[in-house]
Structure 1
Amino acid sequence: MGAFSFWHILIVAAVVILLFGRGKISELMGDVAKGIKSFKKGLSEDETTAAAPPPATPPRAIDHEPVEPVRVEKAEERSKVG
């Protein structure tokens, strides 16, 4: 009542071959192999693009005019003026 015996597996395999034929099974396995190869290729392409750093842009110089220092008045000086 537990596991399948050799005869069960053999009968299932024979039914699958009769239903699908040898040609369909080999085509299916070929398609599976192509899918695995393209999946691996896609993974390797992702790793190479992730490993390569983006090209560095040189720092740009910012042109600006010098700023005059701001004079901070003390509270005592403000009271004298007004």
Structure 2
Amino acid sequence: MGSFSLFHWIIVIIVVMLLFGRGKISDLMGDVAKGINSFKKGLADGDAPPAGTPAPPSQITSQPAPTAAREEVPRS
């Protein structure tokens, strides 16, 4: 009583094809595949930040600022 028969599934598929059309469904699946590939690539990159983004403050090494050598002048 609660399950669909083959006839019901055929009607559902026909309605979906009429609403979305063949082109829209294939475009949607292509976009999903691109998203999955991008996600996998992001996982493979690990903790490396994307190009063009500044490093977080924890990764910036601070070095003392260079100081100009002072010339000592003898006082008279």
TM-score scaled to structure 1, two decimals? 0.54
Deviations 1:8-38 (A, max 9, x none): 1111111010011000000000000001100
Larger helix fraction of residues: 1
CA RMSD of aligned residues (A): 1.3
Distance 1:45 1:17 in 2: 39
Alignment of 1:3-82 (within 5 A): 3-46=3-46, 49=48
Q: How high is the sequence identity, in percent, across the aligned residues?
A: 69
Deviations 1:37-76 (A, max 9, x none): 00111111117x5xxxxxxxxxxxxxxxxxxxxxxxxxxx
4+ long deviations beyond 4 Å: none
Q: AA paired with 1:15?
A: V
Distance 2:46 2:9 in 1: 41
Q: In structure 1, list runs of 5 or more residues that go unmatched.
A: 50-82
Distance 1:3 1:26 in 2: 28
TM-score scaled to structure 2, two decimals? 0.58
Greater RCO between the two (CA within 8 Å, min separation 6)? 1
Distance 1:9 1:43 in 2: 38
Distance 1:13 1:31 in 2: 21
Distance 1:40 1:6 in 2: 37
